[in-house]
Structure 1
Amino acid sequence: MPTKHPHHTVRGNWAALLLPIEADDSIDFSKLAEELDILIDAGVDGIYSNGTAGEFHNQTEEEFDQIQSLLAERCRASGMPFVIGACQPDPTIMLNRLRRAVELQPAAFQVILPDWWPLTNMEAIDFLRRAADLADDIPLILYNPPHAKRALTPADLGDIGKAVPQVVGVKLADGDKDWYRQARQHLQGLALFVPGHHLATGFREGIAAGSFSNVACLSPHGAQRWTQSMHNELEAALELESRICKFMADHIVPFRRNLGYSNAALDKLLCAIGQWGPVGTRLRFPYRSIDEAELPRLRALARNMLGELF
């Protein structure tokens, strides 16, 4: 899908940078550096910071700066593309994060809409224009998940994208056939990033530029192989997607639906199931973490159902 920014290169399978949280609620930056090296070695299409799973809502400004500096340093040294999440529910803090991080020159910035009181479309446009001014020539990707105070329709997103050309992409939930019809109608020219476990469907529908991927939380190597397979083995990729979705629906989503754990807790659980990095399941207080006693059962299920990813 064409994009509106000549330097926009954010496509494919993007892995989340997850925070290794210690028992005293500190971030272990040595483990974070190790995690970055593992993701770079996995050959993912890019690495992004400060999504929901990166706990952007629960870190100090000093920690934000340290995380982004480490991300930029490691990725630049290896030629790995990176996106910085300037996200924060407070618009003033978010814009200040963006302003400070411009010097790191990421491939794009990911931003959310201010999230205490829902914005109207015009307020969203005003905010994103301010963000675009501060970002200089670095494109923006709007993160608009289902749990945002306003999950925008394709028509709303299309209007906002036309009004703010520096918004080159949207990270969002997809939907049924009617949603894809609306997306094709309203979102031409925007790069769409669908949920990781729906990426083969998004590829088949001709609508997905890629994913900021929960499947990469489970297995960055496996998610990258799966993404690449969509170009010449789409039916097999769709069949694997059906098993990924069943694993998520039957064994991961119930932790949120039935027990109230956050999406970040689920993504960290996936990482711990995959056993590929030094992250663990712990979230920063006051958010509850999923008990690691669950891991042996879930690891066996994942490897039985999704052996190709490992």
Structure 2
Amino acid sequence: MLTAKDLKGNWGTLLLPINADDSIDFDRLGEELDYLAGAGLDGIYSNGTAGELHNQSEEEFFRVQTLMAGKCHTARMLFQIGASHPVPFISLERVKRTVALRPAAFQVILPDWVTAGQDEQILFLRKMAEAAEGVPLVLYNPPHAKCVLQPLDMARLSKAVPQVIGVKTGGGDSGWYDEMRPYARELSVFVPGHLLAMGVQQKVASGAYSNVACLSPAGAQDWWRMMDTDLEEALRIQRRIGEFFDRCILPFKQAGYSNPALDKFLAAVGGWGTVGTRLRWPYKWIDEKEVAPARAIAQSLLPEFFNYA
């Protein structure tokens, strides 16, 4: 099982291929898993925000996890199951139902419809840890969570529930990194993929559940490795990633497209799979006609991310 010290690296998210009738295309999902398992990633995770955790039946949830577990065990690839759900009881049942699949960790969010107070957060995580039967927990706390935790909150929860070995965060400014740094010695801290080099420079980030891996799984992995050997060059690449995001992703975000829509668009721009940009009803997705112009800009700014078959 993973520990706080060895939970690190560049992890790719599982994106749901959606058919025109709003069903999940499990054939394309299997092809996506095969590609991700062969891309050299440190691991794969399911049912994050980009995996549309909020918009599946429980039978679909179980089928997605079973498919991922089978593919990853065969490829000897680490994987984490996103057991998150806005309803805490359903999240708990998701852990119980999939613990036999032997993931490296479960990702969970705090109760999200009625936000949990400090004591309730601990009660929730302790019950989840009990159901996980020794599989560690990663607290998924992105910037759009209803309750965004501060570094002291994360440290408090990991101390109260030692099975919490890591957190997904939105990062922050230099003050946030200064506050987070002492806790990062005992807690694996993941920051946004497009800010990973800065997180490493700040001696806080252990890795990313990476939106950059949506664009190019293998390219994102090479960039992560570069942070060990040439951090200055990795930071220069991060600046170019930022320029691409400002030009091609931010306008869609400002137009009201969701994070799942943006991540699927990144994968379409990268051109490595057949996920497509479609989201499930009632959410809108970015039109496929927008892919080619964005890809041209990405190839110009980030040619190293397109050097893969």
TM-score category of the 2 structures, normalised to the smaller one: over 0.9
Q: Determine the structure 2 residue equivalent to 1:253.
A: 250
- On the 8 A contact 1:9/1:107 being kept in 2, the answer is no
Where does 1:135-174 land on structure 2 (aligned, <5 Å)? 135-174=132-171
Name the SS of the counterpart of 2:47 in structure 1: coil
Aligned to 1:92: 89
Identical counterparts, % of pairs = 55
Query: How many angstroms apart in 1 are the aligned matches of 2:146 and 2:3?
Result: 31
- Shift in Å at residue 187 of structure 1? 4.3
CA distance in 2, matches of 1:66, 1:265: 22
- 2:284 equivalent to 1:288: yes
For the 8 Å contact 1:83–1:106, the answer to whether it is kept is yes
- Go from structure 1 to structure 2 and tell me whether the alpha carbon gap of 1:79 and 1:8 turns closer, same or farther (over 3 Å shift): farther
**Partner residue, 1:216:** 213
Unaligned residue ranges in structure 2 (runs of 5+): none
Aligned to 1:231: 228
What is the aligned-residue RMSD (CA, Å)?
1.3
Q: How does 1:193-204 map to 2 (within 5 A)?
A: 193-204=190-201
Contact 1:8/1:107, CA 8 A, preserved across alignment: no
Partner of 1:73: 70
Deviation at 1:185, TM superposition (A): 3.3
TM-score of the two chains, using structure 1 as the length reference: 0.96
Go from structure 1 to structure 2 and tell me whether the alpha carbon gap of 1:284 and 1:182 turns closer, same or farther (over 3 Å shift).
same
Work out whether residues 157 and 187 of structure 1, in 8 Å CA contact, stay in contact via their aligned partners in 2.
no
Using the alignment, how far apart are the partners of 1:104 and 1:245 within structure 2? 37
Alignment: residue pair count = 306
- Where in structure 1 are there 5+ consecutive unaligned residues? none
Aligned partner of residue 195 in structure 2, secondary structure: helix
1:253 to partner: Cα distance: 1.8
Kindly provide the CA deviation profile for residues 5-47 of structure 1, in whole angstroms up to 9, marking residues without a partner as x: 6587431000000000000000000100000001111111100
1:48 equivalent in alignment to 2:26: no
- What SS does structure 2 have at the residue aligned with 1:56? coil
1:10–1:107 CA contact under 8 A, matched in 2:
no
Supply the distance in 2 between the matched residues of 1:75 and 1:225 (Cα, whole angstroms): 21
Q: What is the distance in 1 between the residues matched to 2:231 and 2:184? A: 23
Q: Secondary structure at the match of 2:206?
A: strand
Between 61-70 and 243-252, report the one with greater CA deviation: 243-252
Equivalent pair of 1:170/1:193 in contact (CA under 8 Å): yes
Partner in structure 2 of residue 121 of structure 1:
118
Structure 1 Cα separation of the partners of residues 146 and 17 of structure 2: 28
- Separation in 2, partners of 1:214, 1:83: 16
**Change over 3 Å in CA distance of 1:64–1:9 after alignment to 2:** farther
